[in-house]
Amino acid sequence: MAERDNGATSAAKATTLRGIRRWSTLPGIRRWSAAGSAKARSPWTRGRVLAALAVLSAVLLAFHRLVPNSPGRLGSLWESFLPWSGLVIVALLGLALLRRSALALVALLLPVAAWTYLFGGLLLPGVHPGAKPGAHDLVAVQHNASDENTDPADTARALADAGPDLIGLEELIPPALAVYEETLAPRYPHHTVVGTVGLWSKHPLTDVQELDIKPAGITEPWNRGLRAVVHTPHREVAVYVAHLPSIRVRATGLASSWRDESAGRLGKAIAAEKLRTVILLGDLNSTVDDRGLAPLTSQLNVPARGFAFSFPAAFPLARIDQIMARSAAVGPLRTLPRTGSDHLPVIARITLG
């Protein structure tokens, strides 16, 4: 009985398979299967998710100002690392090639165009800051020397060897301040220090003023801003040196309210400046793309060449040390070799208009 049942079952299976084969060979079914298979293999239909991510990346780049800044100042956080979005584009490119998706590759043209528009100019060559300056040129160095620097004399010599006309320093504390003054004096006879910030110059300084950029929430002694008039051979220039409050990246987002408030106070002081030409040197604890510096970047020229990431010195991720100017062009920005600080010095040529 069992043997007859097995035979019947095998015969039924064979009949079913023959039926399926005959059904699948019908003209309409064959065409449908071939079309579906071809569609699945098409490079224009694969990688739709990658294409969507590429379009999203382009939107976030081109319209980064529209990213909301609350909660947690997410917009400022995104803008602080905006140049690194290029790595996202590279990763998407690699995935698109592996996926063999023509759709994703074409979509990637959008973020590539947006990134090139925002940062491509920084990659172009320009006049090196160390080249012989023109009649209306100044060379400036900005450096947060660090209050934990164990060799201020070596730092001072390294900055002076770069040959700038102006040196702006932050986090100057005793007894390191005396070392900077002694080491820089032979080549920089003019200098002024207010609080923890200082300016050294080859040209005479007058009208030194303390800047009130202290946020209302800070109650302890805090003085991180100065303004001085530099008498260059061409014209008088108002030079500002500032150190804005630090920011912190936390689980809740970017803590930058004090930095933003201090930037606003500094922006008002510069807007009220009567001299036409202004140079700002400072550790602004932000990148020029961060909307938190809008009170400054809206009225000052920023470098058109050079990324010059300055912090942290061990593995620089962002340029938070800035050189900006009004009625003057800031040339290519570059970093100098590492000193005893956790910041890298930045140097730029400034062409007076």
Q: How far apart are CA 252 and CA 166, in angstroms?
A: 39
Provide the number of structural domains found in the chain: 3
Q: Looking at 10-19, 81-90, 234-243, 299-308, which range is the least confident one? A: 10-19
Mean pLDDT of the chain: 89
Q: What's the confidence (pLDDT) of residue 45?
A: 85
Cα dihedral 276, 279, 282, 288 sign:
positive
Q: Are residues 117 and 136 in the same domain?
A: no
Of 55, 87, 122, the last residue of a domain is: 122
Q: Are residues 190 and 281 in the same domain?
A: yes
Q: Are residues 340 and 298 in the same domain?
A: yes
Of 76, 107, 122, the last residue of a domain is: 122
The CATH number of residue 242's host domain is 3.60.10.10
Q: How far apart are CA 222 and CA 242, in angstroms?
A: 12
Residue 305 pLDDT class (50, 70, 90 cuts): confident
3-state secondary structure of 212: coil
Give me 29's structure tokens.
């079914």
Residue 22 pLDDT class (50, 70, 90 cuts): low
Q: Looking at the predicted structure, is the pLDDT value of residue 95 above 80? A: yes
Q: Are residues 182 and 280 in the same domain?
A: yes
Which stretches of 276-336 are assigned E, i.e. beta strand? 278-283, 321-326, 328-335
Q: How far apart are CA 25 and CA 137, in angstroms?
A: 82
Cα–Cα distances (Å) from 289 to 35, 64, 65, 165, 232, in that order, read 49, 9, 9, 27, 31
User: Whole domain around residue 58: which residue ranges?
Assistant: 42-122
Residue 23 pLDDT class (50, 70, 90 cuts): very low
3-state secondary structure of 315: coil
Q: How far apart are CA 227 and CA 215, in angstroms?
A: 18
Q: How far apart are CA 295 and CA 298, in angstroms?
A: 6
- Which residue is listed with tokens 């956080």? 77
Residue 255 pLDDT class (50, 70, 90 cuts): confident
Q: Are residues 110 and 139 in the same domain?
A: no
Q: What's the confidence (pLDDT) of residue 6?
A: 56
Average pLDDT over residues 16-26: 52
- Which residue is listed with tokens 């036409």? 276
**Nearest one of 65, 50, 66, 45 to 110, comparing CA atoms:** 50
Q: What's the confidence (pLDDT) of residue 194?
A: 98
Q: Are residues 21 and 79 in the same domain?
A: no
Q: Are residues 75 and 160 in the same domain?
A: no
Q: Are residues 191 and 288 in the same domain?
A: yes
Of 75, 94, 122, the last residue of a domain is: 122
- Which residue is listed with tokens 């303390």? 210
| pLDDT tens-digit readout, 182-235 | 999 999 999 999 999 999 999 999 999 999 999 999 999 999 999 999 999 989
Q: Are residues 172 and 300 in the same domain?
A: yes
Q: Are residues 49 and 69 in the same domain?
A: yes
Q: Are residues 147 and 58 in the same domain?
A: no
Q: Are residues 286 and 142 in the same domain?
A: yes
Average pLDDT over residues 55-81: 90
Q: Looking at the predicted structure, is the pLDDT value of residue 35 above 50? A: no
Q: Looking at 14-28, 40-54, 224-238, which range is the least confident one? A: 14-28
